[in-house]
Structure 1
Amino acid sequence: MLPARLKHYFLFCCGWLCVILGLIGALLPVVPTTPFMILALACFAETSPKFHRMLLNNRWIGPPLKQWDQTRTVRRQTKLQAVVMLVIAFSFSIGFLWGEWLYQLALLALATLMIGFVLHLKEAEPKFEN
């Protein structure tokens, strides 16, 4: 078992690594943004209330993270967008590596895992207004 101080620093560094990977994911469609930000949120919940609040109050990623933090759900539209982006990005990547079957299989396996992860997330109940 890790000493408390070492665990604190490890989770804090993992949180920032996830934020950086999430920001890269915002720019590159191959890397998912939301799962990394959710992981960062979890790391900061343990180590830094300040950065945890910073993520929750961010105007771009705050609303889905608040929903995840409160209900452990994502919207169906968010899941659909993520799956579509993953399919498009991985299709281009696999096509770019045409003839390199080993890399293509590795990308296909990674795409399958990522899509499976996204589809496995629990969906938020739709809100009906009168």
Structure 2
Amino acid sequence: MPHSQYTTRSQPARCPVDHKAVERAARALPGPLRRGLYLGIGSLSVGAGIVGIVVPLWPTTCFLLLAAWCFARSSPRAERWLHENRLFGRYLAAYRERGVISTRVRRGATIFLWSAIIVSAVFAAGHLWLVALLLLVAAAVTAHLYSLPGEG
């Protein structure tokens, strides 16, 4: 991947998916089938994003961005619901528009991540290699969260 596609402080990372090719392939489908496919993928993506809110290391933002993209092509009502949702609408808009994560979201994600990792490490205490792996992954995710540009 060229260097220009990596995340910088001023610009969010570019998606590795060729959206134009996907759009061309989708346009080959009949309208109602295409809208149904986009709506289905968007709905599954919202579900996967919600799982990511409570499961450490499971991504949230990428699924919500995919859902927004799919809903924009299938259902104005679903797209409006996603962007106006009180749980993740503002968070999604901040990341989509400015590539930033709020301090509150970053702090909450970090606290939840480390809490879950510590509980998991207690249960895996007999396997030192697993505890070390859990701590390493948590440290890497924390570093990633704090490498993203923030907003107050």
State TM-score, norm by structure 2. 0.61
CA offsets 1:10-44 (integer angstroms, 9 cap, x no match):
9x63x544422332244x45355xx41x2123223
State TM-score, norm by structure 1. 0.69
Q: Does the aligned pair in 2 maintain the 1:22–1:31 contact within 8 Å?
A: no
CA deviation after TM superposition for structure 1 residue 90, in Å: 0.4
Q: CA separation in 2, counterparts of 1:24 and 1:42?
A: 15
Tell me the amino acid that sits aligned with residue 120 of structure 1: S
CA deviation after TM superposition for structure 1 residue 118, in Å: 1.2
2:63 aligned with 1:40: yes
Q: Does the aligned pair in 1 maintain the 2:45–2:63 contact within 8 Å?
A: yes
Q: 1:43 to 1:30 in 2, by over 3 A?
A: closer
Q: Does the aligned pair in 2 maintain the 1:75–1:123 contact within 8 Å?
A: yes
Partner of 2:90: 63
Larger Rg: 2
Q: 1:105 to 1:4 in 2, by over 3 A?
A: farther
> Which runs of at least 4 in structure 1 moved beyond 6 Å after TM superposition?
none
Identity %: 21
Considering only aligned residues, what root-mean-square deviation do their CA atoms show, in Å?
Answer: 2.9
Structure 2 spans left out of the alignment, 5+ residues:
1-20, 29-33
Structure 1 spans left out of the alignment, 5+ residues:
none
Q: CA separation in 2, counterparts of 1:112 and 1:97?
A: 17
Partner of 2:9: none
CA deviation after TM superposition for structure 1 residue 45, in Å: 4.1
Q: Does the aligned pair in 1 maintain the 2:124–2:130 contact within 8 Å?
A: yes
Tell me the amino acid that sits aligned with residue 4 of structure 1: A
